């Protein structure tokens, strides 16, 4: 039995955490769940009370929320070098942009997807301020490159890159050249490609 048990659906944010697991290169068990009853039964609600995926069990530990799963795995397996060293200045960038993408950026993208506008003069009431401000902040952070923390690829790139990739695919993020170059570079990683293959293979199997 694997210590890492991963609950996901191929049409969810679980793809982000799946990529992170592939970056680790550690054995894990995948539990594919369908939307609806499978995520709302008592057994799974004991894992995630919201009845959503992804979720991760690691021995006695239980983690939900995609950014938290990425952060947990990077921290739990430091030898994989998926976060800056504890005394390195880039450690601050790592936490800053991982949680910026999970908070203000995601709020901005959700608001845009739902056609919701911040009422005039109320920008201070929302964490992202405005859609333009959130997107510009990410672009500025990526300018030094090649990754969000500089020279080191980290779990923050898994999350930030996925947000940008999905956003450009679904039209909630403008296809700026810097974003396209960044996403193409990190999506070419073997772990990212393997996660895509696994999810697409499950989708094909389910539809057969």
The domains located in the chain, with CATH, are 4-81 (3.40.30.10), 90-190 (1.20.1050.10)
Give CA–CA dist 172/11, Å, rounded. Answer: 17
Q: pLDDT digits over 21-40, tens only?
A: 999 999 999 999 999 999 99
User: Does the pLDDT of residue 125 top 90, yes or no?
Assistant: no
pLDDT tens digit string along 152-189?
999 999 999 999 999 999 999 999 999 999 999 999 99
pLDDT value of position 120: 87
The pLDDT > 70 percentage for the chain reads 100
């Amino acid at each position: 039995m694997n210590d890492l048990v991963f609950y996901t659906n191929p049409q969810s944010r679980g793809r982000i955490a799946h990529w992170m697991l592939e970056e680790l290169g550690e054995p894990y068990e995948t539990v594919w769940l369908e939307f609806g009853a499978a995520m709302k039964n008592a057994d799974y609600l004991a894992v995630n009370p919201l009845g959503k995926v992804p979720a991760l069990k690691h021995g006695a530990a239980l983690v939900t929320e995609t950014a938290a799963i990425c952060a947990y795995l990077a921290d739990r397996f430091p030898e994989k070098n998926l976060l800056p060293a504890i005394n390195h200045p880039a450690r601050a960038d790592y936490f800053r942009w991982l949680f910026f993408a999970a908070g203000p950026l995601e709020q901005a993208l959700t608001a845009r997807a739902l056609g919701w506008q911040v009422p005039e003069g109320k920008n201070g009431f929302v964490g992202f301020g405005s859609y333009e401000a959130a997107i510009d902040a990410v672009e500025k952070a990526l300018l030094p490159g090649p990754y969000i923390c500089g020279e080191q690829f980290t779990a923050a790139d898994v999350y930030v890159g996925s947000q940008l990739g999905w956003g450009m695919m679904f039209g909630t993020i403008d296809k700026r050249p810097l974003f396209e170059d960044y996403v193409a570079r990190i999506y070419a990683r073997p772990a990212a490609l393997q996660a895509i293959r696994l999810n697409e293979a499950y989708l094909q199997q389910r539809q057969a």
